[in-house]
Amino acid sequence: MSQLEIRSLSVAIGGNTILHDIDLRLERGTLSAIVGANGAGKTTLLRAISQLLSPSAGEIRFDGRSLAGIPPHLVARQGLVHVPQGRQIIAALSVEQNLLIGANSLPGLSDADRRARLQAEFERFPVLQQRRGLNAGSLSGGEQQMLAISRALMMKPALLMLDEPSLGLAPQVVSRILATLSDLAAGGMTVLLVEQAAFLALKHADVGHVVQNGRIVLSAPAAELLKDKALIEGYLG
């Protein structure tokens, strides 16, 4: 059974249909990249999956259960966690406080479990440990993106969705973040990545899905898509 299954999904905003009849399956422990031009509907797709937007048609199932009508914070508690575009860290709080927001959103965690999760994220991104007492707003863009990812990982997601994590970052930082996402998938987590940097995303992904005008027009193993760069460039506009 696929971890995430989307059937005939359509989403309308303000009377305009943004997504049309989307079918998508994500297998456990894979990194899938959603690529496409600006305005293609990539962000809308993630917002619909996490229930920040209500579909006008179709069905979304996570671990075999429908997500219809489930509030976004409860979707996250079920293990489907969304890192939105723009990071949305709390600038006035410290790095450590931001991380603990992720853990504290899960009821019933012990102090020992919180400490263990915190240490795991400091080992993943050592710069966060160096900055743990600083206000998050003082971090560089790349450090803020690492913080946003680690805050999500404090919830121990089964499926992690990320919207444009490379936006505005230096190439070496982007490579570090994408390598981290590959490692998470190799460790058994399912990762869904929306990216404007299509070729770079596909180099790290297992599967690629090209979105154009609100429709998935092409899905294939990422390695196959990379062989036909002219085709991908055509879809990216």
Contact between residue 56 and residue 14 where contact means Cβ atoms under 8 Å apart:
no
Contacts of 156 (CB under 8 A, 6+ apart): 79, 106, 117
Span 4-79+157-236 CATH architecture? 3-Layer(aba) Sandwich (3.40)
Q: Give the span between the Cα atoms of 30 and 141, in whole angstroms.
A: 27
How much is the pLDDT for 1? 64
Question: Domain segments of the chain: what residues?
Answer: 4-79+157-236, 91-156
Helix (H, G, I), strand (E, B) or coil at 125: coil
| Residues lower than pLDDT 70 in the chain | 1, 237
How much is the pLDDT for 206? 97
pTM of the model: 0.94
Contact between residue 99 and residue 121 where contact means Cβ atoms under 8 Å apart:
yes
How much is the pLDDT for 237? 60
How much is the pLDDT for 198? 87
